[in-house]
Each structure stands twice: as structure tokens, then as C-alpha cells.
A and B are shown apart, each in its own frame.
Chain A
């Protein structure tokens, strides 16, 4: 059985590089690619009643947007390169969710792009790649 590579994408330049890089590796090792888009979301945030009533609608819209603007084009180019590709959109804490997907799908490696933030900003806001490296159940490749 061939390997499965999980690639975290969010439409940023870094995530595109990660997808390209993972595609090259996958071609060499005949692996399957999973493109995952995680929308930052917490079940413990506070909202107005109006936001709650519209939440379901907004969620559908968010998923739709991620599919068409980001996952669609990337998966097409990966597919064109002759690779087996699967896409999914999730809500949650990005690093935790990526680790969960990797476990669930049996991915052997995670590829993630780096934003190249300064030390201060990653200290203040944390970086997804950074915390993923700390918590991931499988090896992580951070693509600069």
C-alpha cells in the first residue's frame, strides 16, 4: 500500500509551496495526497443571538468558499500531475484538527507551509506549523 500525504492548505503562498513540494514527493513515492483546509473556529466563543441564527448558513458559505477558491484550483493541478487526490474542509483549532485528520486518515506525513512570521508575532499569536510540529502523531515537513 502506498503512503498518504496530508497537506494543510489555506490559500496562502506558503501553503501553495507546500502543496507543490508534497506533490513532487508523492510522485516519486507514488503516494496519495489529501488537501485539508481548516477554518479557525472555537466551540467556546461568544456570539450575538443573530449570529447564532445565521451560523449554519455562514458555515455552508465558508465551506463553499474554501472549496471553490482554494481547494478546487490546487487539487486540479495536483490531479493534472497524475496523482490521486482527496480534499476536505474542517472547522476547529488548525493544529489540533490537522493532527486528528492525520490520525483518522492514516497519513504518514504532514506537509505545511510556513508564513515566515517574525519571532515576536509567532510568540504572541503562536504559529500553526510550530504547534503542529509539537503535537503531530506523524512526521511533519515544514515548507519554507
Chain B
């Protein structure tokens, strides 16, 4: 009897870890400490009462507030003009066939509208309460000014390569902008710092986080954590995803990317329409949900650190979603054909507006109204699974199209970011087939890795890396802001005097 018990015990002891330690688990345990270590360095926190304020969040908020005031609330002043520019009112017919304002904006938006808009918002609401939504919107509003500065500089200091293609983005404006201010050495240093940041950072926000959440939603619709055959096969899903991404960025199968680029904008509209439907299906819960957002923002009820805690979370997730302060979008924006860099800055204002103030807020309302109707609607679900549960309450089949949308968003964001990362890489190592391939290969490996690791460590790594990019970028923006202000004032003066005329609608 005793021997039997012992043998059963031994058997169990051996089999339990053997069962649990699938391939995914092994990868997970290996990366967790690394994530934690990076997180600790970058997320140095200042204790403020009960809340802890990560230094980098403070860095971004101060930057966004400063630019909003310094540029005289360009986020409000420039809004109408932004729409006129996108509509093509000021487009010179002679430039037909070049990159239009609309195209630059659409591409940059496809890069930013990703899983963060669906899953990231759920994370914000879970950790920061309903009040986080208020700060999320606020961050989007202030972020518009940061974006304006970044994208104006992106166009102003882009490099036109001998072959006629264009390279732009923070590494170029930091480099050239500082040189213009007589600080060439520092410009080189900070440009390099940024380039390193973006090619590593691309592996987090634009890669692992995306593939991870796409996988989570995929498992969710194929039977959930317990029932899905795929639940412990993240490596398989990751491998497939990596092969598809690889076939586009390494194999050069552009048609896949082209199709995605064309579907994503429609997907985003489709998502918003259904989200609005769900919100109105919870009609009774709307007033309560809205009031929760405001009261939560002021009191921070039930949130670690109170109102300040909610604020921190809101800002953190907003930046993750709209990328204001990260400088990535200015890489895409810099391709536009214009003699006035300010016009592209003005157009880019719309990006945080669409991404955060519209799409994120809609997601937050879907979750918020569901919470009012049934506080425990999501059970244990976190991230995108929580958003999915909120939709499922009203439209039972929606998780499936949501999974499809999530995968497309993830895919287009990954394609865009692979390019952003590559631009940082080529800034450092120059244009070269072999080195390009190497980077793209690393990128694909991280796509697969993202599906094997749990959300927690992924968020830690991604956040840490993203904020690493903000440090050199925003530091540079402070120095270069006077140049932008000068250009902005001159541009708007010429609009007013009629020197710059509309070609259409006049």
C-alpha cells in the first residue's frame, strides 16, 4: 500500500511539470525574468502617495502639455485646416501621382490602429478603472500636439536618396536638426540612440504585443483556454504568423501587404459601427458608464493610487496606442510631397484623434456599458478577451469577426513596424541586402515568440522598449520646437494673407 502511494506520488510529481511545461511554458519562464529586469530599469517609478509614477510617463505628459501650450493649442486651431488638407483642397494638380496627404495619413493610421485599440483599452480599464478612459482621451488630445511637432520635423529634415526614394523620421531630424543648431555631435549621438531604440522597440509594440493578442483572440474563438486545441500551441500559430509576415517582408510578396492595407481601413470602420451598435444595445447603461468615466477620473475609486493611478494608466495605454512621442509615424508621414512641412504636421493631428479619441473611446464605452450592466461579465478575461466578452454579451457571433479584425490589425501594424524598425536599422548600418535580411529575420522570430509568451511579460517588455524610444525623441523635440514654431507661424500667416491658396473648393 505504502509503495503504491509512493509510486503514485512520484508519478504525479514527474508528470505534472512534464505536462505543464509544454514548449510555450518553457519559453514563458525563460523570458519573464528578462522582461522584469528591463521593466525595472526603464520603469523607474517615483512613489507619489499610494501611486507609483513611472518616470517615462511623466516625461511624455510634460512633453505633450508643453507642446500644446507652446504651439498655441495647434490641436484645436489646426483641426479644420487638417481636414481641408486631407480632402485635397490645397493639393497642386501638378503633383498628382505623388504621395498625397490622405495617403500618408491613411498609412500612418493603419500602423497605429492595432491591437492596442481593442486589447490595450481593456487593459487600461481593468487596471485603471473607468476613470482611465478620461485620461486616455486627454492623452490623445495632448498627444495631437506632440504628433504635430514630430511630423513637421519628419518632412522638413527627410533625406531624399539618390534613387529618388525618401528616408525620414526622428533619426534624421534629430541628426540634421541639431546640426543646424550647431550641435552636430550631439545630433549624431541622439539620432543613433533613437535608431537603436526604434529597431529594438519595433520588436515589442509593433510585433510581440500584436501577435500575442491576435493569438489570444484566436484561441478564444476556437474554444477558449480550456477547450481549444490551439490553447497550448502558441508556437504553431506563431510560426504560421511569422511565415506570413516573412513572406511579405523577406519574400517580397507585396500583394499580401497591399490587400491588408486596403482591408484595414474598412475593418476599422466596420469595428466602430458594430461597437456603436453594442453601446446602443446597452442604452440604459450609457449615462452610468459616462458618469463612471468622469467620477473615476477624479476620485479613482477602487484603483491602486486613486485618481493619479487612473491617470498614469490612461496615459500609458494612450501612448501605446497612438504612438505620439514615439516618433514612429513621422517615418511614414515624411514621404508626402509638399513644399510646406507644416502641412503634414497639421494632417498628422488627426492621427491621435482617430486612433485614441474615436476608436479607443468607443472600445472603452463598449466595455464600460457592459460593466454597468453586469460587473462580472468578463469573468477572468483580460486584454482583448475582455473586449470580446463585452461584444459577445450583445452579439453572440461577434468574437469571430473580431478575431479576424484583430489578426488583420495585428498584421498591418507588424508590417508597418517592420519598416519603421528597418529604417532605424538602415540608418545605423546603411542600406544593404544582407543586413536588411538579418533584421527582417529577427523580426519574424519575435512574431513567433510573441505567441508563446503570456500577456504580462509582453506588456512589460513592450512598454519598456517603447518608452526607451521616447526619451531621445522628446528630448530632441524640445530643442527643435522653436524651428517648428517659426515655420508654423509663417505658414499660417501666409494662409491668412492669401499667399497660399486653395486649388479646390474656393
Query: If A41-B96, A43-B100 touch, does A53 touch B110 (CB 8 Å cutoff)?
Result: no
Q: Is B98 touching A55 in the complex (CB atoms < 8 A)? A: yes
- CB contacts (< 8 Å) of B261 on chain A: these are 46-48
Min CB–CB distance A139 → chain B (angstroms): 24
Q: Is B416 touching A49 in the complex (CB atoms < 8 A)? A: yes
Query: If A56-B165, A100-B93 touch, does A44 touch B335 (CB 8 Å cutoff)?
Result: no
Query: If A43-B103, A56-B98, A56-B99 touch, does A48 touch B258 (CB 8 Å cutoff)?
Result: yes
| Size of the chain B interface, CB-CB below 8 angstroms | 37
- CB contacts (< 8 Å) of B167 on chain A: these are 53
Query: If A48-B261, A48-B416, A60-B164 touch, does A39 touch B102 (CB 8 Å cutoff)?
Result: no
* 0/1 interface trace, chain A 34-50, chain B, CB 8 Å (1 if under): 00000101011111111
| Size of the chain A interface, CB-CB below 8 angstroms | 26
Min CB–CB distance B422 → chain A (angstroms): 9
Question: Does more than half of chain B's interface fall in helix, strand or loop, or is it mixed?
Answer: helix
Cβ of A90 < 8 Å from any Cβ of B? yes
Query: If A48-B261, A50-B419, A56-B337 touch, does A92 touch B165 (CB 8 Å cutoff)?
Result: no
Q: Is A53 touching B103 in the complex (CB atoms < 8 A)? A: no
Q: Is A52 touching B104 in the complex (CB atoms < 8 A)? A: yes
Q: Is A57 touching B163 in the complex (CB atoms < 8 A)? A: yes
Considering the complex, give the chain B residue whose CB is closest to the CB of A57.
B164
Cross-chain contact of A59 among B91, B98, B111 (Cβ < 8 A): B98
CA of A97 to CA of B420 in the docked complex: distance in angstroms? 35
- CB contacts (< 8 Å) of A48 on chain B: these are 107, 254, 257-258, 261, 415-416, 419
* 0/1 interface trace, chain B 225-265, chain A, CB 8 Å (1 if under): 00000000000000000000000000000100110011011
Cβ of A115 < 8 Å from any Cβ of B? no
- CB contacts (< 8 Å) of B258 on chain A: these are 47-48, 51
Query: If A53-B167, A55-B335, A57-B164 touch, does A47 touch B103 (CB 8 Å cutoff)?
Result: yes
Cβ of A62 < 8 Å from any Cβ of B? yes
- CB contacts (< 8 Å) of A45 on chain B: these are 103
Min CB–CB distance B433 → chain A (angstroms): 15
Cβ of B190 < 8 Å from any Cβ of A? no
Considering the complex, give the chain A residue whose CB is closest to the CB of B166.
A53
Cβ of A54 < 8 Å from any Cβ of B? yes
- CB contacts (< 8 Å) of B264 on chain A: these are 46
A-B contact pairs, 11 of them (CB 8 A): A44-B100, A46-B261, A48-B416, A48-B419, A49-B111, A49-B332, A53-B335, A54-B165, A59-B97, A62-B97, A92-B93
Known: A49-B332, A52-B99. 12 other contacts (CB 8 A): A39-B97, A41-B97, A43-B96, A43-B100, A48-B254, A48-B261, A49-B331, A50-B419, A52-B104, A52-B336, A59-B98, A100-B93
